[in-house]
């Protein structure tokens, strides 16, 4: 018996683990996604907490986006579901997919500590965020590491090509990125970002085969143009067809003046296509665990 115990101890020293920890090491780490409001989500991933696209203003702080649907409605159209201090609790880093107001209002508010790491899509956004007093701004690449989490910048197109051909609309739409989260033993998460469906999205899905896909599905519209500047309900079906095993989280609804798709309408659409077990449409403040 003593020899058997000695063998177990020796094996533990060699492998650096006990039998219990070895099991834990091969079990998938938990992923938690909290819908905050609009495209703002809080993600607990591989032991780190990321706040993505923080839009933390009080209801009605800003005028509606000019030249868009329902521009007379002030933004945001609803209040935050919980106090900002609770949203910021435990956040290790912030990710800003692009600096449109409804994804980054950090310049007008002091909710986000100036020394917190802030990841952005390119040097132009970095320059803007630094000018607002943030001192730890990092440009994301296709191989960014943050304390054990790999963050991959992906592309997209924030509207149709027809829209980009018209100025100043094309410049106002600008660029936006998506983000893929990866870590050993952890489900892969793909935040698609403010984009319409295109070949870049197809390529990202094929390359990473994410377990969780977060889609901005508010179907935001600009009068006078066919099509949307972000995704809508049909893109939810497209995502399911592309990766049937993935869980799809639909967000970016019911908070900004130019959204034309509501959670209720999307829920009815998902029900109609019998995808309730694959598509989640979280309420503001709701937590999803994977």
Euclidean distance between CA atoms 67 and 173, whole angstroms: 12
pTM: 0.89
pLDDT at 29 (0 to 100): 67
Euclidean distance between CA atoms 99 and 158, whole angstroms: 12
| Residue ranges in 16-89 assigned as alpha helix (H) | 19-26, 84-88
Task: For residue 267, give both structure tokens.
Answer: 């829920």
pLDDT at residue 255 tops 90: yes
| pLDDT digit string, tens, across residues 80-120 | 999 999 999 999 999 999 999 999 998 777 889 999 999 99
Task: Give the up-direction half-sphere exposure of residue 62: CA atoms within 13 A in the CB hemisphere.
Answer: 19
pLDDT at residue 14 tops 90: no
Euclidean distance between CA atoms 95 and 103, whole angstroms: 10
| pLDDT digit string, tens, across residues 67-79 | 899 999 999 999 9
Euclidean distance between CA atoms 97 and 118, whole angstroms: 10
Q: Any idea which of 172-176, 260-264, 266-270 has the lowest mean pLDDT? A: 172-176
CA distances from 163 to 38, 81, 260 (A): 23, 34, 18
pLDDT at residue 20 tops 90: no
* Structural domains of the chain in order of their starting residue, each with its CATH number: 28-282 (3.60.15.10)
pLDDT at residue 22 tops 50: no
């Amino acid at each position: 018996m003593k020899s058997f115990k000695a063998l177990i101890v020796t094996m533990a020293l060699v492998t650096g683990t006990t039998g219990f920890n070895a099991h834990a090491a091969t079990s998938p780490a938990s992923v938690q996604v909290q819908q905050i409001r609009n495209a703002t989500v809080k993600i607990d991933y591989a032991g780190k907490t990321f706040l993505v696209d923080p839009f933390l203003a009080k209801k009605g702080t800003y005028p509606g986006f000019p030249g868009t649907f329902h521009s007379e409605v002030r933004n945001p159209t609803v209040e935050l579901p919980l106090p900002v201090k609770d949203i910021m609790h435990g956040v290790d880093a912030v990710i800003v997919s692009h600096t449109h107001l409804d994804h980054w209002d950090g310049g007008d508010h002091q909710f986000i500590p100036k020394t917190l790491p802030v990841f952005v899509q390119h040097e132009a956004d970095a320059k803007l965020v630094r000018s607002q007093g943030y001192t730890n701004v990092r440009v994301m690449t296709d191989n960014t590491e943050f304390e054990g989490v790999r963050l991959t910048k992906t592309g997209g197109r924030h509207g149709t090509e027809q829209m980009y051909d018209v100025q100043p609309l094309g410049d106002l739409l600008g660029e936006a990125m998506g983000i893929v989260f990866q870590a050993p033993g952890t489900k892969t998460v793909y935040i698609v970002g403010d984009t319409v469906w295109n070949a870049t999205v197809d390529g990202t899905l094929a390359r990473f085969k994410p377990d969780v896909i977060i889609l901005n599905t508010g179907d935001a519209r600009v009068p006078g143009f066919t099509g949307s500047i972000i995704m809508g309900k049909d893109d939810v079906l497209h995502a399911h067809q592309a990766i049937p095993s993935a869980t799809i989280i639909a967000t970016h609804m019911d908070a900004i003046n130019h959204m034309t798709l509501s959670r209720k309408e999307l829920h009815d659409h998902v029900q109609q296509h019998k995808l309730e077990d694959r598509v989640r449409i979280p309420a503001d403040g709701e937590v999803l665990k994977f």
